[in-house]
Structure 1
Amino acid sequence: MSVPTVTTATPVCAYEVLLPERGVAALLGDRQIALFRTYDGTVYALGNQDPFSGANVLSRGIVGSRGDVPTVASPMFKQVFDLRTGACLDDPDVRVPAYPVQIVDGQVLVSLGDD
């Protein structure tokens, strides 16, 4: 019988401080993440490092969509990433980490998955 893995979620900020269609950076331990709130109110968390430039800038990217896919375009070279999965829509071999997000009592909690 296997025991399910319990992942601890870390409080990052209040939901209300996240502006729609904008990103913010946060440091969780030694990991930079980028949080995005879309117009429909959904919050996503990705790794903040742009894999093409190596710069921690995805939180400053342009939030939008391709069809029904919520996206962020890197401010460096403009590659577009799926906010749900971290997959690069311009290069299918590249992705950034995507982290589960919960909103509990008005607080944004992110699970890094290494517990």
Structure 2
Amino acid sequence: MNNDRLPRAWTPICTLDDIVPNTGVCALVNGEQVAVFHVNRHEEDAEDTAVYAIENFDPGSQAAVLSRGLIGSLGERIVVASPIYKHHFDLRTGECLESPEYSVSAFATRVEDGQVWVAV
């Protein structure tokens, strides 16, 4: 079954201001740890931000640590580097660039009235 056609259950996480730009937080959504990132896409424009969400569990290290990783970019990809083995995960897709077999799920996000929402 195509998951894109299933209705999404949106869950409020926190306010956007609760997440320091270019960092992540961990949220428990339906019993699953989700890493939520507030990314400032251009240093000169604090209003140009995006929010991404992926699984918090790093399959390479077998630890729930991705929300604590460093955000950066590799080419056109916005990534988080796992704090343990430094594998890079694409924040849009969850793909692990070094080891695709370690890829994680990515989740839809939205910001409404300053509130961050995640669909898991």
TM-score normalised per structure 2 = 0.86
The correspondence of residues 29-40 of structure 1 with structure 2, limited to 5 A, is 29-40=30-41
1:102 is the counterpart of 2:101: no
SS at 1:93 equivalent? helix
Superposed CA deviations along residues 59-92 of structure 1, whole A, max 9, x for unmatched, are: 0101000011000000011100000000001112
Higher share in strand: 2
Bigger CA drift: 4-13 or 57-66?
4-13
Q: Which residue of 1 aligns with 2:11?
A: 10
Q: Which residue of 1 aligns with 2:53?
A: 45
1:91 is the counterpart of 2:99: yes
| Percent identity between the two aligned chains | 44
SS at 1:100 equivalent? strand
CA distance in 2, matches of 1:9, 1:20: 22
Deviation, 1:18, is: 1.2
CA distance in 2, matches of 1:53, 1:29: 23
| One-letter amino acid matched to 1:34 | A
Q: What residue ranges of structure 1 are gaps of 5+ in the alignment?
A: none
Does the CA-based 8 Å contact 2:13-2:115 persist in structure 1?
yes
Across the aligned residues of Structure 1 and Structure 2, the Cα RMSD in angstroms comes to 1.0
SS at 2:40 equivalent? coil
Higher share in helix: 2
Deviating beyond 3 angstroms after TM superposition, the runs of 4 or more aligned structure 1 residues are none
Q: What residue ranges of structure 2 are gaps of 5+ in the alignment?
A: 42-48
Superposed CA deviations along residues 24-76 of structure 1, whole A, max 9, x for unmatched, are: 11111210010111112100001000011110000010100001100000001
Q: How many residues align?
A: 109
CA distance in 2, matches of 1:93, 1:56: 17
CA distance in 1, matches of 2:112, 2:90: 24
